Chain A
Amino acid sequence: MLADALLLQLGYNAALVTIGAMLLGVAAGVAGTFLFLRKRALVSDAISHATLPGVGLAFVLMVAMGGDGRSLVGLLLGAALSAGIGLLCVQWLTTRTRLGEDAAIGAVLSVFFGFGIVILTIVQTLNAGRQAGLEGFLLGSTAGMLRSEAMLLAVSAALVLALVVLLRRPLTLAAFDPGYAEAAGWRLGRIDLAMMGIVLLVTVVGLKVVGLILIVALLIVPAVTARFWTERADHVVVLAGLLGGLSGYGGAALSAVAPALPTGPIVVLVSFGFFVVSLLLAPGRGVLASVLRYGRYQRRVHVRQGLLALAQGQPIYERLTHRLLRRAGYILPDGVATADGQAAAAKAQLDEARWAIVRGDLVFVSAATRYDGLTEIETVLTPDQITDVDARIMAPQAVT
């Protein structure tokens, strides 16, 4: 069944939803990366919640004008308009009052959402039946996705990708170093406006698929996940798009197999699955890699300290040090150094003396920055340089 779903063999509607969710995932992952890098991830939460009054009011307006109120374009225009107003409110509160951005986001998010719920409730009591589907904007409803809706997602995704390719340099620069960007002549205000516009577009077209409450997850989680795997901003963008697309595709396929499961939330959970795997297993920034690296580092420190203690004839108190030295064959169970241990200890002692010279001499200034108590001096200096250093270690002793 799942294989059928993944191969788009579960009928026209399921295929439409799967492709639509994938396109949304790509667009959201790419757009969200810049929000994440600019450390303004939560602004997207304010934007998405601020769509709700617009949806409700657009419905009321369309009914008042004699329509049936369910034109998706009309509803989305309303959503975009009120989200834009919400965004302006956040900007205004942040720049013109002493409120921080977090407080501004909290205020705008809750007030707009509350207002939206009120409108939705009133609509429901006014003319029951005809408004069916408005609640779908809260958590998404893909059941009756139309071809035109999938087309809208495709066009929007293409637009988002084009804008991001066009603006990748200013967007990256503004995220990394806004002060420099502005001094270099980029209009920071316009860059941020463009970024928010892209996010707003993704949010509005994503309303029907994942709903306004969960769209923030699609914007942020892929970027955060991608960050685990790379140290380059451009790679984060690409990877976040891929992860977002995979989440959308996989999530929609899963929910097609089990129709009881809602598409939007499943997409978010699949995306979260990628996040957890990355959090644990990513090389470099992953938790497992960090733990292993820390352990390895700790063992090196212990061995080094133990050898230096041996060289100075001091007893070894720490159990871990003792165990590591024994395992390396440097000491006997009673703590007495073996021949190997004596040699290694003498070498460690000599290296410390060499480092002391290196760190005290401006000639070696770049090498000296590599000192961390563990780095082998042979990896930093050439044999000739070491001979030179050794000569200086001996010299003062010859005088006395």
Chain B
Amino acid sequence: MSLTLVSAKSVEDDRKARFESPLSVRGLTVSYGESPAIFSVDVTVRAGAMTAIVGPNGAGKSTLLKAALDVVKPLAGSVQIYGQPLAQMRDRIAYVPQRASVDWDFPTRVIDVVLMGMYRQLGLLGRVRARHRTLALDCLDRVGMRDFETRQIGQLSGGQQQRVFLARALAQQADIYVLDEPFAGVDAATEKAIIAVLQELRDAGRTVLAVHHDLTTVPDYFDDVILLNTQIVAAGPVADVFTEDNLQAAYGGRLATARVDPESVAG
């Protein structure tokens, strides 16, 4: 057994890593009841990369995102955005929640949802001007939904709804894009369209962090991967971390099922 002492240098290194990271999390624990959903999670997301959060059902993937954005109050831990407290940096993060988390019968049109992405910028009384509208339409265009501008959101298919959510995030013009299961229950065309947009963002220097459930596409889509099963199993570049052993450790006996039928993990 080896004992590591905390040296001044390691503290300094960590501080530096957090300063450079768009999103860093230390000792984050969230509990909904008696047992923790995530426990003492440390994550340092690499700037300008696409990172997947992967893990079995109930591993706390969505919880990690929500706690990192303070939507769920953590029991312990801290979150920093480029080394600053989250509260001051919220405008630099765009969040795409799970599609199923909202009521799609809500009386609103596609364009209105995208404009919601600019509400922070518009403030309480700022008028929606032509340039805001142009930006919203441009965002819809990027996800291939330009023609649906005035459609009521309830008339959209699941994939189209997901694209509208992505367009709303784009309208925020943020640096960090945090997506919860963006590919869950969407058609193949939407998956392609979304990944193309996300890769565009990455290539423009933005950071993408997404909960992902399809192990087969992780190497194709993402640069980094975080394997989560309540605690961090492994994290780092896909080439180093996305190994048989690590997956086995994260998924345990469920790996076989996850491999054979990736859809089943989505459920």
Per the bound structure, the CA–CA distance linking A176 and B187 in Å amounts to 24
Quote the shortest CB–CB distance from A365 to chain B (angstroms): 4
Q: Is B10 an interface residue (CB 8 A)?
A: no
Tell me if A233 and B189 are in contact (CB < 8 A).
no
Given known pairs A166-B124, A173-B116, the reply for A180 and B108 (CB within 8 Å) is no
B122 partner residues in chain A, CB cutoff 8 A: 169
Q: Is B51 an interface residue (CB 8 A)?
A: no
Stretch touching chain A among B65-73, B216-224, B228-236, B238-246: B65-73
Given known pairs A177-B97, A369-B187, the reply for A183 and B69 (CB within 8 Å) is yes
Per the bound structure, the CA–CA distance linking A227 and B108 in Å amounts to 11
Q: Is A175 an interface residue (CB 8 A)?
A: yes
Per the bound structure, the CA–CA distance linking A233 and B106 in Å amounts to 8
A232 partner residues in chain B, CB cutoff 8 A: 107-109, 112
Interface residue count for A (Cβ, 8 Å)?
Answer: 31
Quote the shortest CB–CB distance from B168 to chain A (angstroms): 8
Closest to A176 in B: B106
Per the bound structure, the CA–CA distance linking A358 and B120 in Å amounts to 42
Tell me if A183 and B120 are in contact (CB < 8 A).
no
Q: Is B31 an interface residue (CB 8 A)?
A: no
Tell me if B91 and A231 are in contact (CB < 8 A).
no
Per the bound structure, the CA–CA distance linking A192 and B189 in Å amounts to 38
Per the bound structure, the CA–CA distance linking A37 and B144 in Å amounts to 29
Tell me if B91 and A185 are in contact (CB < 8 A).
yes
Tell me if A365 and B189 are in contact (CB < 8 A).
yes
Q: Within residues 106 to 126 of chain B, which ones have a CB less than 8 A from any CB in chain A? A: 106-109, 112-113, 116, 119-120, 122, 124-125
Quote the shortest CB–CB distance from A138 to chain B (angstroms): 34
**Which of A37, A180, A368 is within 8 Å of B97, CB to CB?**
A180
Q: Is B257 an interface residue (CB 8 A)?
A: no
Q: Is B259 an interface residue (CB 8 A)?
A: no
A180 partner residues in chain B, CB cutoff 8 A: 95, 97, 116, 168
Quote the shortest CB–CB distance from A302 to chain B (angstroms): 24
Per the bound structure, the CA–CA distance linking A369 and B187 in Å amounts to 9
Per the bound structure, the CA–CA distance linking A374 and B116 in Å amounts to 35
Closest to A188 in B: B71
Q: Is A160 an interface residue (CB 8 A)?
A: no
Tell me if B97 and A169 are in contact (CB < 8 A).
no
Tell me if B108 and A182 are in contact (CB < 8 A).
no
B157 partner residues in chain A, CB cutoff 8 A: 369
Q: Is B7 an interface residue (CB 8 A)?
A: no
Q: Is A126 an interface residue (CB 8 A)?
A: no
Tell me if A176 and B108 are in contact (CB < 8 A).
yes
Q: Is A170 an interface residue (CB 8 A)?
A: yes
Q: Is B5 an interface residue (CB 8 A)?
A: no
Per the bound structure, the CA–CA distance linking A382 and B90 in Å amounts to 46
Tell me if A233 and B108 are in contact (CB < 8 A).
yes
Tell me if B125 and A166 are in contact (CB < 8 A).
yes
Given known pairs A169-B124, A232-B109, the reply for A366 and B152 (CB within 8 Å) is no
B120 partner residues in chain A, CB cutoff 8 A: 184-186
Tell me if A231 and B70 are in contact (CB < 8 A).
no
Quote the shortest CB–CB distance from B244 to chain A (angstroms): 32
Quote the shortest CB–CB distance from A210 to chain B (angstroms): 26
Q: Is B101 an interface residue (CB 8 A)?
A: yes
Given known pairs A37-B106, A183-B95, A231-B152, the reply for A176 and B124 (CB within 8 Å) is no
**Which of B95, B152, B189 is within 8 Å of A184, CB to CB?**
B95
B69 partner residues in chain A, CB cutoff 8 A: 182-183
Given known pairs A177-B97, A185-B91, the reply for A366 and B119 (CB within 8 Å) is no
Q: Is A179 an interface residue (CB 8 A)?
A: yes
Closest to B155 in A: A231
Per the bound structure, the CA–CA distance linking A172 and B124 in Å amounts to 12
Q: Is A398 an interface residue (CB 8 A)?
A: no
Quote the shortest CB–CB distance from A195 to chain B (angstroms): 14
Quote the shortest CB–CB distance from A193 to chain B (angstroms): 16
Given known pairs A169-B122, A369-B187, the reply for A231 and B109 (CB within 8 Å) is yes
Told that A176-B103, A177-B116, A232-B107 touch, could you supply 12 new A-B pairs with CB distance under 8 A?
A: A37-B107, A166-B124, A179-B66, A183-B90, A184-B119, A185-B91, A231-B107, A231-B108, A233-B107, A233-B108, A233-B112, A235-B107
17 contacting pairs across A/B (C-beta < 8 A)? A37-B106, A176-B108, A176-B113, A176-B116, A179-B71, A182-B70, A182-B71, A184-B95, A184-B119, A184-B172, A185-B87, A227-B107, A230-B107, A232-B107, A232-B112, A362-B188, A365-B188
Give the A-binding residues of B (Cβ under 8 A): 66, 69-71, 87, 90-91, 93, 95, 97, 101-103, 106-109, 112-113, 116, 119-120, 122, 124-125, 144, 152, 157, 159-160, 168, 172, 178, 187-189
